[in-house]
Amino acid sequence: MSVSQFEFATAARILFGVGSAEQVPPAAKALGRRPLLVTGSHPERSAALIEALGAQGLVPVPLAVQAEPTTTLVAEGTRLARESRCDLVIALGGGSALDAGKAIAAMAANPGELLEYLEIIGSGRSLTQTPLPLIALPTTAGTGAEATKNAVLASPEHKVKVSLRSSLMLPRLAVVDPVLSASAPPQVTASTGMDALTQLIEPFVSTRSNPMVRALAREGMARVSRSLRRAYAQGSDLEARADMALASLLSGISLANAGLGAAHGFAGPLGGKYNAPHGALCARLLPLTMDVNIRALRRRGPQGSGLDGYREVAQVLTGLPTATPEDGVRWVTDLGTELGIPPLRTYGLTPADFPALVEQSAVSSSMKGNPISLGKDEMTEILERAW
């Protein structure tokens, strides 16, 4: 098969490994003098970092992200960064803190209001100014936000999640220290780990996939296959945590360069309307979207790429060279069951909501990478089975 043209981009610099977080303070000093420190819902966990930054002569301006980031929070954070004359953003936390940090770094350096730059609910205006330098330190292994060029934000007014997106938003430095995720509780480990798996499988079979993405995603899937159950069952297993941290990083790089698919196409509208963890939504939807996609590809898809991709996914996950695409679906289904992933009804979704969700999901940016265009009946089937 010939190789089509493609573009590939990621964080300017990546540091990975146990203890790598210790390199953040001197790196921060080289990038700025007045950092905005964006943290998750437990800002007290940043005490050691604040002390280490102080030893470098840096006094951070704190901003805690208590839940998934909203357009309101980013607007407030942008005002804080500008008023405090911050010249650097350090984001320490899960995907929420990292996405908030990326969005604030971008908006602090660009004119106008946030809404002007947002997809779907805004004008989709392009960023023109380079964002403030951003250092991203993930404390969960799942979103890969330390290596993506967008920030997913909830709009309370519109009841939808949308993206601020630009290649300029790639972090200046991504620091992935597996120790930072060791304290994540089992259910967080499960949902974020399944999010990472979704972000490896969907880019692998995406219509926009390329050889570099497939190589990275293949490596990430193999690590999830051998280590997610271990990280879930025994959080102190640092080898398993390292595997999942690397898989998450690879998932972020993969989605940034090849897009996603139907699971994320649904997860965006669902997450905007219901109080549901993004990773848990993806975990529930992943095996069902895989199954419906595979059946659609067998019925009416182009020969080759789509089914071949799912076949290789199954072979990597199961470790069996004879595995079929359907074996991959069974493997992911069984994993979700073992990890206690709940059905969508848990979050208040009702069958009456299905038609509107199908309409919203069909036009989402993530759906554009799905390996085959799904009809409304097929999309409704996914929701019915996930419910």
Q: Which tens digits make up the pLDDT trace of 238-249?
A: 999 999 999 999
- Using one digit for the tens of pLDDT, what is the confidence trace for 6-55? 889 899 999 999 999 999 999 999 999 999 999 998 888 899 999 999 99
Same domain, 135 and 198: no
Same domain, 299 and 349: yes
- Under the banding of pLDDT at 50, 70 and 90, the label for residue 358 is very high
Residue 290 lies in a domain: yes
Which of 48-52, 159-163, 334-338 has the lowest average pLDDT? 159-163
- Using one digit for the tens of pLDDT, what is the confidence trace for 61-70? 999 998 889 9
Same domain, 176 and 206: no
d(CA 168, CA 213): 20
- In what helix (H) or strand (E) does residue 174 lie, and over which residues does it extend? strand 173-176
Domain boundary residue, one of 129, 161, 181: 181
The pLDDT mean for the chain works out to 95
Tokens of 221: 């899937």
Q: Give me the mean pLDDT over the 60-84 stretch.
A: 95
pLDDT at 366 over 80: yes
**Domain that includes residue 291, residue range:** 186-386
Under 8 Å between Cβ of 336 and 287: yes
Same domain, 114 and 41: yes
Of the chain, the end-to-end C-alpha distance in Å amounts to 40
Same domain, 308 and 172: no
d(CA 141, CA 185): 12
CATH number reported for the structural domain that contains residue 229 in this entry: 1.20.1090.10
- Under the banding of pLDDT at 50, 70 and 90, the label for residue 1 is very low
Sheet containing 14-16: order of strands: 14-16, 173-176, 134-138, 88-93, 35-39, 61-64
Residue 1 lies in a domain: no
pLDDT at 303: 61
Residue 4 lies in a domain: no
pLDDT at 2: 58
Residue 146 lies in a domain: yes
pLDDT at 273: 86
3-state SS class at 10? coil
Q: For residue 225, how many other CB atoms are within 10 A of its CB?
A: 18
Which of 71-80, 87-96, 193-202, 294-303 has the lowest average pLDDT? 294-303
Q: Give me the mean pLDDT over the 351-371 stretch.
A: 94
Extended strands (E) in 190-232? none
pLDDT at 204 over 90: yes
- Using one digit for the tens of pLDDT, what is the confidence trace for 267-310? 989 988 888 889 999 999 999 999 999 999 999 877 656 899 99
Same domain, 225 and 344: yes
pLDDT at 127: 96
Same domain, 174 and 202: no
Amino acid of residue 170 = L
pLDDT at 250 over 90: yes
pLDDT at 5 over 80: yes
